[in-house]
Amino acid sequence: MIDLSKFKDIYVSETEDHLQKLNDNLLALEKDLSNKSLLNELMRSAHTLKSSSATMGFNDMAFLTHVLEDVFDYARNDLFNITSETVTKLFEAIDSLDNSLKSVKEKNKESDLKKVIENIKKITGVKTEGIGKSVRHEDGKPLVEKKEVKSGDNKLDELKEADKITSIKVPVERLDKLMDLTEELLIDRMRIETISGYDLDSSLTDEKLTLESLLFKLTPAVEHLSGLISNLQYLVMQARLVPLGQIFARFPRMIRDLATEKKKKINLEISGEDLEVDRTIVDKLGEPIVHLLRNALDHGIDTEGTIKLKAIREKDFVSVIVEDNGLGIDFKEVVEAAVRKNIIGNDEGNNYLSKIEKNKIFDYGADKKYVADRKQIEDILFNPRLSTNKQVTKTSGRGVGLSVVKKFSEEINGNIILESPLSKKGGTRFTLELPLTLAIINALLVKIDNSMFAIPFSSIARAVSVKPEDIKSMADQDVAVVDNMRVPLVDLERVFHLVKPLQGKKTIQQLEKESKQINKTVVLVKRGKELAGIIVDRLLNEQEIIVKPLPSVLKGVKGFSGSTILGDGETILILDVITLLQDSSKLIRV
């Protein structure tokens, strides 16, 4: 007997693809119930799943997909009319197939689908008796039992999380390049072994090589090896990239089910799904997007509207945007809810409400006088205890949604930007800025006193030299005037309490006085659309670094996203610009 277990991974991968096609085409069919080409596509996917499931011995999955095949066959031959209620039940059948596939992956055993099979047969009237056994009535028409189909049985509070990606489809071209690089690495290894063997074994040559001549021979081989390793690293990183479409594809179905439950008419527009991001980020991205989409549908849009989900490539990161054309965020209601739940005090709440009523909380004028208040109210939105809903429903009211998004953003060293209203009519946009990869990044190494730090290039706008007369004092804050803009400064020497080394007999006071008389090297870093300047003593060099997570005992420390080990073995910390600048006290002169 043939051992089919070795084909399981292929079966699982292909079945996942066909289930996604069934979901996508069924969503499209619901908008155009008479589209015969979609019915043909649905039948082909069901037919393929039936055959492969039967071959693997998963008979219930094969039987159910054969029933679905007959349903689509009847519909395309005008023997059965598919309605929106029928579509809901067909979606439930596809969900049952998906759950059965998960059981196959985890337990190598399919689920019992007999009740689902009988339910679909009763609703549609198809007379499928078994795998490969379709029965029609003498007049060629099915007997459809007139039954009320309830479409509100789905548990929307248990919407599926994005499954972790356990396999990646890699183009053959990339694999060929990896094989070529491996062969060249083996050749370089043999070259280095041969060269190093000249001095170690005199039998290899009559000439004893000096250290200088040995280095002369080794240098080209090492340089070539370095280039190969860089290419290998690039290809491996490319192999880890997966398109965002792998998670975007499931959201149309989710929005459809949720809109049906809420009796709303929602148009979901998706773009940028072809952009590729590291697998580890895609694995974690599903849940925050679910919360943002739920938020847009539940809070943003009243009865009818459009939600946009799009991804845009920008420099060293990808922006994932969830935008709706609803009425926008009612910040007055946010403050009132925060007071009601004791997140902020009455006095603070009254202060915010007063400024909201005078429209000063939204003033983004040249002086930016009220921006801080606006930011503080936006931060309230991400509090896990906040919800503007008076009652807890299946999809909202618990207050955890946006806090999950915030936590995800912090964990991957990303950023979240809120914009609302987008126009006089309203609208809300959440932008998640995601790094392309979490493993290897480009960073600028800087020196502050005797300490070295790495600043990710994705957070850097540029580095400038600022004259003493261009550094101004505003209240408790130092700002640098750069291109006629006032940029707040961060002095990490003071923030991290670094010890400045004494030079000769000079006192710390003398050194500080001299420091104020020379130009400052400032690295301009950005957080969303804002700039801040980090004062450093010296710019060292640009370098690719491998990000190592901080040990658990240091994970609560703000301002650092991880560590890295340099070529000389020294371990340095990587600055987390976003969390560092979230604390306004870091910008205060101390």
Kindly write down the DSSP assignment for every residue of 259-309, as one continuous string.
Answer: HHHHT-EEEEEEE-TT-EEEHHHHHHHHHHHHHHHHHIIIII-SSEEEEEE
Q: Which residues are CB-neighbours of 304 under 8 A, at least 6 positions away?
A: 264, 265, 266
- Give the Cα separation of 498 and 448 in Å (integer): 8
Question: Where does 440-587 sit in CATH, by number?
Answer: 2.40.50.180
Q: Are 570 and 439 in contact (CB under 8 A)?
A: no
**Cα distances (Å, whole numbers) of residue 399 to 259, 384, 403:** 20, 5, 8
Q: Please identify every stretch of the chain with a pLDDT value under 50, giving residue numbers as ranges.
A: 1, 137-162, 199-207, 364-370, 391-399, 590
Beta strand pairing call for 317-324 and 276-278:
unpaired
Q: For 245-435, which CATH class? A: alpha beta
Please state whether the peptide bond connecting residue 421 to the residue before it is cis, i.e. omega within 30 degrees of 0: yes
Quick check: pTM over 0.85?
Answer: no
Handedness of CA 235, 238, 240, 246 (dihedral sign): negative
Number of residues that this document lists for the chain: 590
pLDDT confidence of residue 82: 86
Tally of CB atoms within 10 A around 397: 15
- Give the Cα separation of 433 and 414 in Å (integer): 5
- Tell me if residue 158 falls in helix, strand or coil: helix
pLDDT confidence of residue 444: 92
The domain 5-146 having CATH identifier 1.20.120.1810: the answer here is no
